[in-house]
């Protein structure tokens, strides 16, 4: 019985370590929310599932034609390593795309985008 408990413990520990080692940082909470229609936001704020490597993680805003509108660089949150924000200029009504790139502490890179509409 004791051997089976050790084996069970070792299996559980392996699963925990392997899950952590292969984690990728994806958006968890986004503001503005994907596919939302809102007034012009002052910033984009995205919380990710894993801690980010700030040097290799960023947010960018483009209009429907692909023109980059974000003049400033995205900012990592000193108090929360899973959070990036991007200050925005006043946006005219239209469709906008948030492009995100992340590198988590384990070195895995991810990227993607989502859209929102300004009314």
Please state the separation of Cα 71 from the chain's center in Å.
19
Q: How confident is the model at residue 42 (pLDDT cuts 50, 70, 90)?
A: very high
Per-residue pLDDT reduced to its tens digit, 74-94: 999 999 999 999 999 999 999
Instruction: Write down the residue that tokens 């050790």 correspond to.
Output: 6
- The full set of domain ranges for the chain reads 25-118
pLDDT for residue 118: 98
- Is cis: bond before 53, omega within 30 of 0? no
**Percent of the chain scoring above 70 in pLDDT:** 81
In CATH terms, is domain 25-118 a member of 2.60.40.1220? yes
Global pTM value? 0.79
The number of C-alpha atoms within 13 Å of 70 and in the hemisphere containing its C-beta is: 21
């Amino acid at each position: 019985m004791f051997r089976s408990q050790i084996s069970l413990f070792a299996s559980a520990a392996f699963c925990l370590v392997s899950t952590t080692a292969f984690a990728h940082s994806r958006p968890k909470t986004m503001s503005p929310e994907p596919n939302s229609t809102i007034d012009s936001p002052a910033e984009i704020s995205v919380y990710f599932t894993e801690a980010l490597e700030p040097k290799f993680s960023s947010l960018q805003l483009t209009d429907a034609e692909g023109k980059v509108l974000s003049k400033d660089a995205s900012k990592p949150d000193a108090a929360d390593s899973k959070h990036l924000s991007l200050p925005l200029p006043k946006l005219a009504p239209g469709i906008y795309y948030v492009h995100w790139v992340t590198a988590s502490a384990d070195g895995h890179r991810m990227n993607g985008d989502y859209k929102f509409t300004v009314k």
